[in-house]
Chains A and B, each alone.
Chain A
Amino acid sequence: MVLVVAAACSSNGGTIDAADIDALPEATASDIEALLADSERPVVMNVWASWCIPCRSEAPLLAQAHTSFGDDIRFVGIDVRDSQSNAREFLAEFDLDIFEHYFDSTGVIPGAFGGRGVPLTFFFRQGGELSYLHFGVIDERTLAVHLDELTR
């Protein structure tokens, strides 16, 4: 009962307005390959979509991970097979506009890196070498271990 009351009282929105978020730039697999090669930091690339319920579930964790590791690791989001308006609402709801996101309307980018389905979380070492690919929702312990691995 206490939990239900707490839930009813809890807000379900971020601190920013979706209208204040710019449209996500469209990207191709080669754009992301270039980004990985040029990045001066290791990269965590999360593949998400606003219609994906598990993605909603892991979104707060990614925001928390960025807060803890954002100085050492570059966080990149790839929004697949989505609409721009829904994507911006999703980012606003979870305050996920704190890191860069790209729009992949056809959903081909994950496949180019060996991924399939949504959500996916890729961990790339500096230079673009894939360290680990997590299929499905990622939990805090797994995320923390692989982030720690990238910083060493």
Chain B
Amino acid sequence: MEFSLLGAALLAVAAVYAVIYWEAARGNAADCSKDLWDVALGSATAGLVTGRLAAMIIAGTNPLTNPGDILIVRSGVDTGWAAVGALVALAVISRRETVAVAAGLSAASLAGLGAWEAGCLVRDTCHGTVTELPWGISLGGSEIARHPVGIYTGLLFLLAALGVMWLKRRTQDPLLVAGFALAAVGAVRLATEPMRSALGSRPTGWYLAAIVVGLSVAVASRYRSQRAR
């Protein structure tokens, strides 16, 4: 049995918890009554299950006749549907405080995604496409240098998380924060996707959708707050 995937997941969970805890202690928490940690766990679980079911259906495996396959997370989780499942779960759990909760979890989510990507060091899966850059890394027994794309992505998510934390201190507008965070997720994944090896089609459309929706929400929120003044 191989536990490296679990190790990367634990890193991500630890990062989410650490940021929620850090922000709560510094008055940077969400203005809502929900327990952010509970919402984060519920949303992440719903996203994981949705993404796994979607990956199975897309691959032609019927989850109703092969329920055991749902547990084989390692063989694929569809990124786009996982994000949709997580966001829907967040909306259902947080109800009337959805925007405040989304803003409250935005930095923690970005940090969690960054830690998950950096977990490639535990899984030995940081390798991307071939590069001639001096910091390229090689697979064991190979001399071919490859982009350490997992590290790039992890660092960019960390940078985005810091950006969201800074934004939360500058503005009282949770919609602006949530929109910025969603756009940041799409932008980071879109920027690093060409450096990842893939077999079939890439989820580029999902990343573009996240950028467009996130930026639209952020711009609309900004426009609305300017008109209210």
A residues near B (Cβ < 8 Å) are 3-4, 6-8, 10-12, 53-54, 56-58, 60-61, 64-65, 68, 94, 131-132, 135-149, 152
Which of B2, B54, B66, B199 has the most chain A CB within a 10 Å cutoff? B199
Whether B57 lies near A6 (C-beta < 8 A) is: yes
Question: A10 with B66: in contact, given A140-B198, A144-B197 (CB under 8 Å)?
Answer: no
B60-96 Cβ-contact flags toward A at 8 Å (1 or 0):
1111111011001011100001000000000000000
Q: Select one of A56, A60, A149 contacting B142, CB under 8 A.
A: A149
For the complex, give the distance between the alpha carbons of A137 and B68 in Å.
14
For the complex, give the distance between the alpha carbons of A129 and B65 in Å.
40
Whether B75 lies near A141 (C-beta < 8 A) is: no
Whether A7 lies near B68 (C-beta < 8 A) is: no
| Closest Cβ–Cβ distance, residue B70 to chain A (whole Å) | 9
Q: Verify if B144 is at the interface (C-beta below 8 Å from A).
A: yes
Q: Select one of A12, A132, A147, A148 contacting B65, CB under 8 A.
A: A12
For the complex, give the distance between the alpha carbons of A56 and B59 in Å.
11
Q: Verify if B215 is at the interface (C-beta below 8 Å from A).
A: no
Tell me which residues across on chain B come within 8 A of A53, comparing CB atoms: 66, 68-69, 72
Whether B74 lies near A137 (C-beta < 8 A) is: yes
Tell me which residues across on chain B come within 8 A of A152, comparing CB atoms: 130, 144
Q: Verify if B127 is at the interface (C-beta below 8 Å from A).
A: yes
Question: A139 with B74: in contact, given A12-B66, A145-B127 (CB under 8 Å)?
Answer: yes
Tell me which residues across on chain A come within 8 A of B109, comparing CB atoms: none
For the complex, give the distance between the alpha carbons of A103 and B10 in Å.
39
Which of B129, B141, B197 has the most chain A CB within a 10 Å cutoff? B197
Whether A144 lies near B199 (C-beta < 8 A) is: yes
Tell me which residues across on chain B come within 8 A of A132, comparing CB atoms: 139-141
